[in-house]
Structure 1
Amino acid sequence: MSESILVAVAQFAPTSDPAENLASIDELASRAADRGARVVVFPEYSSFFEKDLGPRFVEAAEPLDGPFVTGLGRIARRLDLHVVAGLVAVAGTDRFSNTLVAVSPTGALEATYRKLHLYDAFGQRESDWVEAGGIEQPETFDVDGFTVGLQTCYDVRFPEVTRLLVDAGVEVVLLPAEWVRGPLKEHHWRTLVTARAIENTVYVAAADHTPPVGVGNSMIVDPSGVEIATIGDERGIAVAELRRDRLEGVRRVNPSLALRRFGVVPRSASA
């Protein structure tokens, strides 16, 4: 078990060309690896993105063993690090699955996550085109002794999602997003990411798109809510050290997980 790991968030604007997106991921992941990162987190919709959801997303959907994930595997293997990114994935319906994939340093797929809460808010209707993920036991993976879990964008507005991850043993939450711009949206982004870290005493590494569509402000927040690495509105990476002693120290001072009196129960289909 390592006493610390370096984690990077990478911020860029994915396009409708998966090959171009893989090239951006390769370049940014290489910069993260050069700085010693063991994990690099890319945004939601890293494989394919256009401003407006529509049939082209369904046409661009790939399986988990398709060229985009295979390309991530090559990058992870060459750089010897874990790569997490958003995939427009085949859903087996007339919609697609908004999926996160985590690829290990061997190039193998080590965890996936399908977005639970779809962005039917602020004038958007993600559910018109996206198949929501099922409520299942979270898939986690290990990075040098730290237990890592995944969630996506709008899910951060639902604190029970992060709590389910923490109940599964997660100490580091990776949060790819496409957090669109709008009134107070940047304020919501920073507040919610920070709150999820504080209330669960975990590290949160959140990666967004750059403007003009996303707000940017990708960040890594520690278990006490301190922003230990941040990117502004430009393409790039930020790297931070995640420390075991910091995690344990915060939990000694603020044992909120041990003191809580409520659990999380999935809502029934008929509710």
Structure 2
Amino acid sequence: MLRITLCQVTSSEDPAENLEEIRRGVASAAGEGARVVVFPEAAMARFGVPIKSLAEPLDGPWAKSVATIAQQHGVLVVAGMFTLAEDGRVHNTLLVTGLGQHLGYHKIHLYDAFGFRESDTVAPGGEVVTVTVDGVTLGLATCYDIRFPELFRRLADEGAAAVVVPTSWGAGEGKREQWEVLVRARALDSGCWVLGCGQADPAATGVAVNPKAPTGIGYSIVADGFGRVHAQLGPGRDTATVEIDPAVADRARAATGALANRRLA
């Protein structure tokens, strides 16, 4: 079993302020026995601000500060940040740090949808990333990635029992329903636990943001490989802690045959 806490927050445009949010969240989660603490996509700084001017490398001061927090509390922290890409854009990166590990996952599928063009400023990643904590392998995905079942099946093939999905989901008609369906569908597709950790809805926390930017709707959700929901939050700031049993992923795959019965055209 692996205890994981999702921290649903509304990130500000100030990386230093958001670092303090991470510090508080990690301290609280670790105090309750969590081994992994997850923050949303864009935890370093929310969308709707000039992210290129804020981007730092994985060995930069912001990421190093998160690493220190993780080390102090003996946990693995996953948090969205921005790193510079070789072509002059940035990568939408998940920082994964703690328990002797320090790495990043660059978001593969970019949000060129619903009138937003992430690719104008963000370069896509190209590598599937997993990390292992206490013998449980976790896959990494970010927000719009959840619309692509191939990634989740690839992560399952790489040994993932669960996939952590930090997100800053765009608001709009039907978007909450799509989010909830997609988390459960990807869990069924892959047999993995899927843990979607979203930015809280700024309206629920009284924060004014750029209305054209995807700044979150809340409703973080955890589903197992049978599609069963084990935890779900509302729109506002909150946390959810779950116990991940990797054996459930094995049982789900054996029952549904979702991986074993695949046929390639």
Tell me, yes or no, if the aligned pair for 2:140 and 2:163 is still in contact at 8 Å: yes
Task: State whether residues 41 and 205 of structure 1, in contact with CA within 8 Å, keep that contact through their aligned partners in structure 2.
Answer: no
Mapped to 2, the partners of 1:237 and 1:64 lie a distance apart of 26
CA deviations on 1:14-43 (whole Å, 9 max, x unpaired) are 111111101101111222112211111111
Counterpart of 1:59 in structure 2 is 53
- Shift of residue 7, structure 1, vs aligned partner: 1.0
Contact 1:41-1:206 at 8 Å conserved across structures: no
Q: Which residue of 1 aligns with 2:10?
A: 13
Q: Give the whole-Å Cα distance in 2 for the aligned partners of 1:124 and 1:154.
A: 12
Match of 2:109 among 112, 117, 127: 117
Q: 1:190 aligns with which of 180, 183, 192?
A: 180
Instruction: Give the equivalent residue in structure 2 for 1:232.
Output: 234
Aligned-residue identity in percent: 40
CA–CA distance in structure 2, aligned partners of residues 210 and 69 of structure 1: 22
Question: Counterparts of 1:128 and 1:244 in 2: how far apart (Å)?
Answer: 38
Q: Which residue number corresponds to residue 139 of structure 2?
A: 149
Alignment of 1:12-51 (within 5 A): 12-50=9-47
2:94 is the counterpart of 1:92: no
Q: What residue ranges of structure 2 are gaps of 5+ in the alignment?
A: 203-214
**Cα shift at 1:227:** 1.2
Mapped partners of 1:59, 1:29: distance in 2: 26
After TM superposition, give the deviation of residue 104 of structure 1 in Å: 2.0
* Equivalent residue number for residue 127 of structure 1: 119
Q: Structure 1: which 5+ residue stretches go unaligned?
A: 264-271
Query: For residues 86 and 257 of structure 2, what CA distance do their matches in structure 1 show?
Result: 43
Q: RMSD between aligned alpha carbons? A: 1.5
1:164-223 CA distance string (max 9 Å, x none) = 211211111010111011010000100001100011111111111111331101121111
Distance (whole Å) between structure 2 residues aligned to residue 176 and residue 149 of structure 1: 11
Q: Match of 2:216, SS?
A: coil
Partner of 1:103: 97
What is the TM-score with the length of structure 2 in the denominator?
0.91
- Cα displacement string for residues 134-179 of structure 1 (whole angstroms, at most 9, x for unaligned residues): 2x3x222111111111011111111111112112111110101110
* 1:251 shift after superposition: 2.8
Preserved contact between residue 101 and residue 112 of structure 1 (Cα < 8 Å): yes
Matched, 1:161 2:151: yes
Match of 2:264 among 254, 262, 265: 262
Q: Which amino acid aligns with 2:120?
A: D
CA contact (8 A) 1:28 1:236 kept: no
Deviations 1:53-112 (A, max 9, x none): 5xx211111011011111111111111111001111111333111111211224x40x32
Contact 1:177 1:206 in 2 (8 A): yes
Paired residues, number: 253
Query: Residue type of the partner of 2:33?
Result: G
For 1:203 and 1:262, locate their aligned partners in 2 and report how far apart those are by CA, in whole Å.
24
Supply the AA of the counterpart residue of 2:46.
Answer: F
Please tell me whether the aligned partners of residues 81 and 105 of structure 1 are also in contact (alpha carbons under 8 angstroms). Answer: yes
| 1:10 alignment partner AA | C
Contact 2:39 2:79 in 1 (8 A): yes
Change (3 A) 1:244 1:165: closer
**Equivalent residue number for residue 75 of structure 1:** 69
